[in-house]
Amino acid sequence: MTAARHNWTQKEILAIYNKPLMELLYKASTIHRLHHDPNTVQVSTLLSIKTGGCPEDCGYCPQAARYHTNIEGNDLMSVTQVKAQALRAKASGSSRVCMGAAWRNVKDGEEFDRVLEMVRTINKLDMEVCCTLGMLTENQAKRLAEAGLYAYNHNLDSSEDYYKQVISTRGFEDRLKTINNVRKTNVTVCSGGIIGMGETEEDRAGMLVALSTLNPQPESVPINALVAVEGTPLEDQKPVSIWDMVRMVATTRIVMPETQVRLSAGRTQMTQEGQAMCFFAGANSIFAGDKLLTTPNPDVNEDMELFKLLGLNPQKPFIKKMQPQTVEAKDSAYESLGEKPKWSRPEHTIARNQAAKVKGKS
């Protein structure tokens, strides 16, 4: 229940997803507090370093060359431009920069060399660097790791069954292969998906099965709400409800307790109260900035005002896991989940004894 499992079934995850909402929120929040600081949320900036002209046919994406979406394309940015954007992001509170390029797959050559230099440059700013560049070979993943890449994003998007209803130019196995290539390095994996594309609850559970059964599980999982863009095949999809987003975030937190759950696209359609519920349910990362690649996003000043209102603090870079809970808080959390406190390991026994001594002195 409270440790990462790699044998979740679709039936089990559906049962969690469909729990009475208050019970679901309580369980997700309790598990969240066992593994993360509930008052700390990472702020990341997503930067489109090469926009438009993608040969893929992802039904949700306005950057596909075959769709007419009025997206203004641009060639690969310069290292100087990227550094300036990264400095701006850092000044506004971001600890991670994720660079996205509208490529089907990475091709060795001058452009990839430039991306590697971007990674090195941002690394020197004491910021986490993430890339989402399409499919990677094992050698390309290794070169990114050597340049200092912290994370690689490659979303599964949906369940394996529904995936083919949204994309035909790349298979589900292709995505898993790229994740596997990244896993052969020390780069962390960021992989999630989108809800609101016409999929069923079974498909949402299926996507979480695919992610949670990876071993190790992804260090971060973005949960996106579809932003329907005119000119794409999914332009007529209605916005997903906040209740579906909250359920998806909470279920992800329960199924992948140690993962950073990223509240991603679709936040412009959410109220402050809706976002607060997502944080309570276990989301501990957002993307800041006026755009997520090409789709609208809340202004960074609005996000900072929300953080102040909720008492949230931006996470510092290079912290893979926030775990500041006291021994007594952990005891209480385990008991509320109907489990005995897990103090079997020597370090846990020492921690508990030290806590007892401190309490006795006070």
Query: Quick check: is 278 catalytic?
Result: no
pLDDT tens-digit map of 2-30: 678 999 999 999 999 999 999 999 999 99
pTM of the model: 0.84
Q: Is the pLDDT of residue 303 over 90?
A: no
Query: Quick check: is 267 catalytic?
Result: no
Task: Please give the structure tokens belonging to residue 340.
Answer: 């005995």
At the second CATH level, the architecture of 10-314 is Alpha-Beta Barrel (3.20)
Q: Measure the CA angle with vertex 250, ends 209 and 277; round to 5°.
A: 155
Q: Which pLDDT score is estimated for 264?
A: 87
**Domain layout of the chain by residue ranges:** 10-314, 327-361
Average pLDDT over the chain, rounded to an integer: 85
Q: Is the pLDDT of residue 300 over 80?
A: no
Q: Catalytic pick from 96, 170, 183, 190?
A: 190
pLDDT tens-digit map of 220-229: 999 999 988 8
Tell me the β-bridge partners of 223. Answer: 193, 263
First to last CA, the chain: 34
Q: Which pLDDT score is estimated for 298?
A: 62
Alpha-carbon distance 312 to 28, whole Å? 18
Q: Catalytic pick from 98, 175, 183, 253?
A: 98
Indicate the pLDDT class of residue 162, thresholds 50, 70 and 90: very high
Q: What is the mean pLDDT of residues 153-169?
A: 91
Binding residues: 54, 58, 61, 98, 130, 190, 262
When comparing pLDDT for 153 and 267, which is higher? 153
